[in-house]
């Protein structure tokens, strides 16, 4: 039996030519990350083909239609990982786009963690693997202060900000980074979707996935 959930898309990216999504259940406000297998792999274009119920037409993956869409997805099973407990494996059924939320409604989906998984920009994966650090959720939608976007000496996209009196400096994967920087300048206030990444060389990095 399928698990059916309708989520608001709050993060999206393309990785290795495939798609990554995350969003919140519109009813429970719990995070959902659609994945293709038990290892949390990215989705192919076919796996996230979306039917627009408003126009009754099939189109490209919701990556191309922007954030904040409400998407109904049929999942095969919940497939949590130690560092990403929100993973659900998608079925073969087309996704159903059911309108969207407005930007001001993002406030209804905010998280209020005490910290962004501690103080620095990464977590040693062995601590997670050995249950020394418990990851209850690997995605946060938070309102931050003193947000500054910049590129470092290696031309990597970064965001520095303050959250609950703690300063952070994290990598950014938001594909709109350059446009946001151009239109708003370096300093701006905003809401960020922050994700804890997969194990990479022994660490799970904290990544700014979306800048609202």
Clarify whether residues 117 and 74 are in a common domain: no
How many domains is the chain partitioned into structurally? 2
Same domain assignment for residues 92 and 123: no
pLDDT, residue 209, reads 93
Residue 144: exposure state from Cβ atoms within 10 A (0-12, 13-18, ≥19): buried
Among 128, 129, 131, 138, smallest CA distance to 195 is for 138
Give residue 55's pLDDT.
45
**Domain range for 161:** 110-211
Tokens, residue 123: 């977590």
In Å, what is the CA distance from 23 to each residue of 9, 71, 149, 203?
4, 9, 23, 24
Is 206 found in the same domain as 187? yes
Assess whether 88 and 171 both reside in one domain: no
State the pLDDT at residue 16: 73
What is the rounded distance in angstroms from the CA atom of residue 117 to the CA atom of residue 140? 10
Same domain, 95 and 115: no
* 63 in the same domain as 35: yes
pLDDT at residue number 56: 45
Last residue of a domain, one of 56, 76, 105: 105
pLDDT in tens, the chain (212 residues): 789 999 999 998 877 778 889 999 999 999 999 999 999 999 998 898 888 755 444 555 555 456 999 999 999 999 999 999 999 999 999 999 888 999 899 999 999 999 999 999 999 999 999 999 999 999 999 999 999 999 999 999 999 999 999 999 999 999 889 888 887 766 676 899 999 999 999 999 999 999 99
Q: Which of 105, 120, 137 is the last residue of a domain?
A: 105
Predicted local confidence at residue 8, as pLDDT: 96
* Domain termination residue (choose one: 50, 76, 105): 105
Q: Are 101 and 115 within one domain?
A: no
Q: Are residues 101 and 16 in the same domain?
A: yes
Token pair for 73: 């997805």
Q: Can you tell me whether residue 74 is helix, strand or coil?
A: strand
């Amino acid at each position: 039996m399928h698990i059916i959930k309708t989520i608001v898309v709050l993060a999206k990216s393309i990785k290795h030519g495939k798609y990554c999504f995350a969003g919140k259940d519109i009813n429970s406000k719990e995070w959902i990350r659609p994945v293709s297998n038990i290892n949390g792999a990215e989705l192919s274009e076919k796996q996230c083909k979306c039917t627009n119920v408003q126009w009754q037409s099939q189109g490209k993956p919701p990556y191309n239609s922007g954030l904040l869409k409400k998407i109904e997805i049929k999942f095969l099973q919940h497939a949590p990982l130690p560092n990403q407990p929100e993973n659900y494996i998608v079925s073969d059924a087309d996704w159903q786009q059911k309108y969207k939320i407005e930007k001001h409604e993002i406030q209804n989906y905010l998280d209020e963690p005490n910290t962004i998984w501690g103080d620095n920009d990464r977590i040693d994966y062995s601590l997670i693997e050995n249950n020394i650090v418990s990851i209850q959720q690997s995605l946060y939608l938070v309102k931050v202060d003193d947000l500054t976007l910049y590129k470092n000496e290696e031309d990597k996209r970064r965001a520095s900000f303050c959250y609950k009196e703690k300063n952070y400096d994290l990598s950014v994967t938001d594909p709109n980074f350059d446009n946001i920087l151009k239109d708003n300048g370096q300093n701006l206030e905003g809401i960020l979707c922050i994700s804890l990444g997969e194990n990479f060389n022994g660490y799970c990095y904290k990544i700014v996935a979306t800048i609202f």
